[in-house]
């Protein structure tokens, strides 16, 4: 595929890669539109800045939900805006989809992309792309265990050079953590905060070390008085919601591992578990997974780009892509 585009359109962010250029777009999957006229006011980062700000006649929407397109008209306008920005012109596309995506969903996404002038698209499951994006599959016939911690979904899979051995996509991701943090702050400190503030808390204080002493000041609305109020939050306050989230992920990972043949499990025990996605950047997560699963854990150097980088790699190898892409039947 001489001229091709790799597309990772997630619940939180959209990434686009072009052959010969690398990653050319990284933007939130967000749209701001006029409530009255329904016209687009902003996309991506500019739209996300308006989220929860009560700007007159403005509604901010995230048209991708739990890994799939939830609002087709808005998703179309968002992706068209991104395609215009990168000067897309009918190149072939390799697109990431959640593990286990069925043929009906594939046909639906294909129809959506055709409306944007994408006529030749190959769909590949996220864990496979992560494996190639992390460069852990190209020279091996052995299985690898991948956990991709995304914004709206988490993909947990054992993969081989032939594809997914066994795996699942669950509707838990960084956005769920933001909601859990917002609820925790409201229930324990009687302060209501928005999702953007909760996300900042996660980024600034997210740590799986129980002795982390970092603090971060947030501003919100006092639940009792209705007045604005600052709150100094400690890392230990963020720890419990994070622990609940990651323990759920670990529980599913253990169930997936239990389905593997002994030889495959032995190889995974030797090579380790590979984490990717934005949530894998949480401080101390590597040690936490190793402690809980008793298996070496490796986190990609740039975990948010693993998927789109893997798709970019497949753009350069048509033979490999044809072997790994999902059928539409």
Across the chain, which has 329 residues, the per-10-residue mean pLDDT values are: 88 96 96 84 92 77 92 95 93 95 94 94 96 83 92 95 92 94 95 93 94 92 96 93 96 95 92 95 96 96 95 94 86
Structural domains of the chain in order of their starting residue, each with its CATH number: 4-130+306-324 (3.30.420.40), 138-172+241-303 (3.30.420.40), 174-237 (3.90.640.10)
Would you state the pLDDT for residue 250? Answer: 98
Q: Which of 199, 204, 197, 279 is closest to 235 using CA atoms? A: 204
Strands in 31-34's sheet, in edge-to-edge order, are 40-43, 31-34, 58-61
Please state, in angstroms and rounded to a whole number, the distance separating the CA atoms of residues 258 and 279: 24
Please state, in angstroms and rounded to a whole number, the distance separating the CA atoms of residues 170 and 254: 14
Please state, in angstroms and rounded to a whole number, the distance separating the CA atoms of residues 169 and 174: 14
Residue with tokens 């380790």: 272
Would you state the pLDDT for residue 78? Answer: 96
Would you state the pLDDT for residue 276? Answer: 96
**Is the CA virtual torsion 312, 318, 319, 321 positive or negative?**
positive
CB 275 within 8 A of CB 285: yes
Please state, in angstroms and rounded to a whole number, the distance separating the CA atoms of residues 150 and 11: 8
φ, ψ (nearest 5 deg) of residue 290? -65, -40
Strands 13-18 and 22-28: antiparallel
CB 312 within 8 A of CB 6: yes
Would you state the pLDDT for residue 190? Answer: 97
CB 10 within 8 A of CB 158: no
Would you state the pLDDT for residue 54? Answer: 60
CB 30 within 8 A of CB 60: yes
Would you state the pLDDT for residue 139? Answer: 61
């Amino acid at each position: 595929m001489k001229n091709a585009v790799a597309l990772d359109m997630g619940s939180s962010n959209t990434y686009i890669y072009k052959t010969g250029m690398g990653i050319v777009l990284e933007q939130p999957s967000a749209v701001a539109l006029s409530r009255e006229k329904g016209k687009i006011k902003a996309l991506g980062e500019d739209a996300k800045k308006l989220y929860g700000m009560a700007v007159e006649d403005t509604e901010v929407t995230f048209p991708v939900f739990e890994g799939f397109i939830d609002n087709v008209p808005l998703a179309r306008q968002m992706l068209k805006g991104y395609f215009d920005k990168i000067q897309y012109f009918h190149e072939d596309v390799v697109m990431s989809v959640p593990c286990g995506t069925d043929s009906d969903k594939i046909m639906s996404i294909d129809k959506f992309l055709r409306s944007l002038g994408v006529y030749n698209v190959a769909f590949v499951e996220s864990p496979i792309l992560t494996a190639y994006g992390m460069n852990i599959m190209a020279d091996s016939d052995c299985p690898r265990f991948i956990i991709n911690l995304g914004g709206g979904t988490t993909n947990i899979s054992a993969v081989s050079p032939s594809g997914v051995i066994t795996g699942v996509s669950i509707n838990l991701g960084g956005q769920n953590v933001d909601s859990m943090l917002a609820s925790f702050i409201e229930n324990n400190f009687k302060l209501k905060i928005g999702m953007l503030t909760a996300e900042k808390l996660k980024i600034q204080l997210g740590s799986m070390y129980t002795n982390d002493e970092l603090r971060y000041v947030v501003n919100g609305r006092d639940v009792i008085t209705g007045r604005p109020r600052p709150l100094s939050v400690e890392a230990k306050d963020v720890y419990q919601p994070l622990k609940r989230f990651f323990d759920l992920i670990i529980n599913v990972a253990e169930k997936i591992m239990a389905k593997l043949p002994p030889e495959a499990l032995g190889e995974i025990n030797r090579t380790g578990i590979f984490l990717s996605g934005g949530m894998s950047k949480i401080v101390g997560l590597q040690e936490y997974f190793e402690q809980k699963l008793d298996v070496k854990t490796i986190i990609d150097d740039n975990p948010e780009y693993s998927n789109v980088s893997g798709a970019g790699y497949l753009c350069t190898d048509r033979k490999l892509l044809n072997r790994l892409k999902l059928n539409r039947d």
